[in-house]
Structure 1
Amino acid sequence: MITWCLWQRRNRIREKQPTWTLTEVALKAKELLNELLDVQQKILRDVQPRSPVRWNPPSEGMYKANFDGSIFSKLFLAGIGVVIRDAYGNVIAALSQKITLPHSVDLVEALAASRAVCFNRELCISKVEFEGDSQRVVTAINNQAPSKTMFGHVIEEI
């Protein structure tokens, strides 16, 4: 913290901006360190133990396409990822793609599923099992009735 404050002071002097005196540098460093420690203590929380998740291979002669979405709200972006593996767990192909932030997490997951389907078509892979972690999206895809969700248009496309 002291090094950072000294560096800031140096840059401000160089740019002819108002800065701290040398005695204030130590006080500012202490303030910043206390702020960091306060934030770190607040972040700590009880971790709930989860049952281990294992990837299960597809049936012999099949491929498995795993898809997932993630949100980067501060950047107003979302990410889509797809990994295609054979029955031995070997990665056949993978992709990641940034998209503009949709209005919901479910829509990000639905778009990831849609991209997984398109990616398989692009690779001419026909015997594929799809797997995602969003129960709402997977249920909507497997449902025979039209989806009346906000992401139903993507499900219909799939």
Structure 2
Amino acid sequence: MWVFDKKFQSPSMLYKTATDDLEVFKQVGQMQKQQINETEVQLQARVKVLWELAVETFYKFNFDATYIQNDRIMGIGGVLRDHRGDAKMVLSAPKAHVPSAFHAECYALIQAMQLCHELRISNMIFEGDAKQVIDSINSNCVDCSWKG
């Protein structure tokens, strides 16, 4: 008789428990390997998004914002490039008392648009990564969802 975890078990029962636990351990290992392989396949299947030049006679202004929720502060940045990809201007600015990341992204776009307007630069393409902002701009509908 063997004692483990304050239970008396015979050697054959301990052996059976150990082999059952080993089988479960092997199955979990196989499941983990399968999950890792599936994740690698998913990563390989991701589409690479590459920046593209603007068509001739156009400029492209890439903008972005970062937002720190706890401090309610943000920073914006942007680059204006011509159709050859040459940087013509950069924009960066901090701002405090910002209510959300959506507001931060909107502010980045507005600043980019105002700068181009003030410099009388037309034939513009504005490009950012904030889907909600881009969808709102491209929509014909009034969207007040950002109000809550």
Q: TM-score, normalised by structure 2?
A: 0.64
Q: Mark the runs of 5 or more structure 1 residues left unpaired by the alignment.
A: 1-45, 152-158
Equivalence for 2:28: none
Q: For each residue in 1:107-136, what CA deviation from the matched residue of structure 2 results, as whole angstroms up to 9, or x when unmatched?
A: 111111111100111221011001010110
Equivalence for 1:109: 105
Q: What does 1:3-82 correspond to in 2, within 5 Å?
A: 49=43, 51-73=47-69, 76-82=72-78
Rounded to whole Å, the distance in 2 between the matches of 1:75 and 1:150 is 19
Equivalence for 1:123: 119
Query: Aligned pair in 2 of structure 1 residues 73, 147: CA closer, same or farther (>3 Å)?
Result: closer
Equivalence for 1:95: 91
Query: Aligned pair in 2 of structure 1 residues 74, 104: CA closer, same or farther (>3 Å)?
Result: closer
Contact 2:60 2:124 in 1 (8 A): yes
Q: What is the deviation of 1:82?
A: 1.6
Contact 1:71 1:101 in 2 (8 A): no
2:133 counterpart letter in structure 1: V
Query: Aligned pair in 2 of structure 1 residues 64, 93: CA closer, same or farther (>3 Å)?
Result: same
Rounded to whole Å, the distance in 2 between the matches of 1:113 and 1:63 is 15
2:89 counterpart letter in structure 1: A
Q: What is the deviation of 1:52?
A: 3.5
Rounded to whole Å, the distance in 2 between the matches of 1:61 and 1:126 is 9
2:132 counterpart letter in structure 1: R
2:144 counterpart letter in structure 1: K
SS in 2 for 1:115: helix
Q: What is the deviation of 1:55?
A: 1.0
Query: Aligned pair in 2 of structure 1 residues 131, 137: CA closer, same or farther (>3 Å)?
Result: same
User: More strand per residue: 1 or 2?
Assistant: 2
Q: TM-score, normalised by structure 1?
A: 0.60
Moved over 6 A (4+): none
What is the aligned-residue identity percentage? 32
Tell which structure's C-alpha radius of gyration is larger: 2
How well do the aligned residues superpose, as a CA RMSD in angstroms? 2.2
